[in-house]
Amino acid sequence: MILDGKKLKEKKLNILKEETSKLDKKLTLCVIQVGEDTASEIYVNQKKKMADFVGFAFKHIKLKNDVSEDYLLSIIDKENKDDKTTGIIVQMPLPSHINETKIQNAIDYHKDIDGLSDINTGRLVHNRKTLISCTPKGILELLKEYNIKIESKHVVIVGRSNLVGKPLVNLFLNENATVTICHSKTKNLKDYTITADILISAVGKKNLITKDMVKQNAVVIDVGITRENNKLYGDVDFDNVFNKASYITPVPGGVGPMTVTELGYNVLEAYQLRSDANE
């Protein structure tokens, strides 16, 4: 069965729109973009479209590629202090002369809707209420929407990025799953993937996961994206794995739509967390 992220996105954004309309304050999503990266332009437009739909104000701060790190930090500091700004995201990737980790940690953790700061990462590890990275959060929501059991299942994650792989480990541990993480230095990858009840690949390598690497009736979540001849491919050899998996996400239309959806929910959660902190 297909895990339909587009359908769930529509459902969840309608709920978020209704919840947002009940607030006595208009929430503001601030996106800071550096440079003219084509993919970044697409992702920023998706965020604006989501914000417009659910009723957020959208602040787009666009800086030149050669902007200094200090100036970028000053912009973040200004938005941290602005009570009208609910959530802040600095669009990745950044130019090589800017330290991404430093920038991510400059954002007030109450406004860090990407969930990438050390504070929010640490709170996730300790299973405390926090802002969680959007793609991992979206994956969990997708599984829960289709009533896929997580507790006691063996989850194998391929990819250890700060954005997807590492947060997923702690999210699934907090759901009482048994978790194995594989990466570029893992030998004999198939030995691990074939044991997975839930297999997640977040590498960005076309057809990395083939049919012989997947256990019968496994749940397969494909986070990878590769562009080839203006077409998108995932990490999973979808056509051949489809009949072996019990559930599978397509690329596009699976995990991708959930990422921008959860960004919207993180804006609302950022507002609620700050309200709780001020009480």
| Same topology between domain 25-108 and domain 134-255 | yes
Tens of pLDDT along 65-79? 999 999 999 999 999
State yes or no: pLDDT of 94 exceeds 90: yes
Band (278; pLDDT cuts 50, 70, 90): low
- The burial of 74, by beta-carbon neighbours within 10 Å (0-12 exposed, 13-18 middle, 19 or more buried), is given as exposed
The per-residue pLDDT for range 102-136, each reduced to its tens digit, is 999 999 999 999 999 999 999 999 999 999 999 99
> Which range among 43-52, 104-113, 268-277 shows the weakest confidence by mean pLDDT?
268-277
User: Apex CA 219: angle with CA 223 and CA 47, to 5°?
Assistant: 30
pLDDT tens across 25-38, in order? 999 999 999 998 88
Is residue 185's pLDDT more than 80? yes
| Percent of the chain at pLDDT exceeding 90 | 92
| Residues making up the chain, counted from first to last | 279
In 3D, which of 87, 26, 17 has the Cα closest to residue 273? Answer: 87
The stretch 258-270 carries a mean pLDDT of 97
**Structural class in CATH, domain 134-255:** alpha beta
Q: pLDDT at position 275, please?
A: 80
25-108 domain in CATH 3.40.640.10?
no
Domain coordinates in residue numbering, the chain: 25-108, 134-255
Count of CB atoms situated within 10 Å of the CB of 1: 10
Q: What is the arithmetic mean of pLDDT over 44-67?
A: 97
39 falls in which pLDDT band (50, 70, 90)? confident
Residue 276: pLDDT band with limits 50, 70, 90: confident
Mean pLDDT of the chain: 96
Give me the mean pLDDT over the 156-180 stretch: 97
Strands (E), 64-172: 87-90, 154-158
pLDDT for the residue 34: 97
* pTM for this predicted structure: 0.94
C-alpha 87/C-alpha 106 separation (Å) is 13
Q: What is the CA radius of gyration of the chain?
A: 19
User: To the nearest whole percent, how much of the chain has pLDDT over 70?
Assistant: 99
151 pLDDT band, cuts 50/70/90, is very high
Highest mean pLDDT pick, 92-96, 153-157, 273-277: 153-157
The answer, yes or no, to whether residue 279 has pLDDT greater than 60, is no
pLDDT digits (tens, 9 = 90+) for 231-244: 999 999 999 999 99
Residues tagged active-site: 47, 91, 114
Amino acid 230: pLDDT: 85
Confidence category of residue 263, pLDDT binned at 50, 70, 90: very high
Q: CA-CA distance, 216 to 15, in Å (whole number)?
A: 35
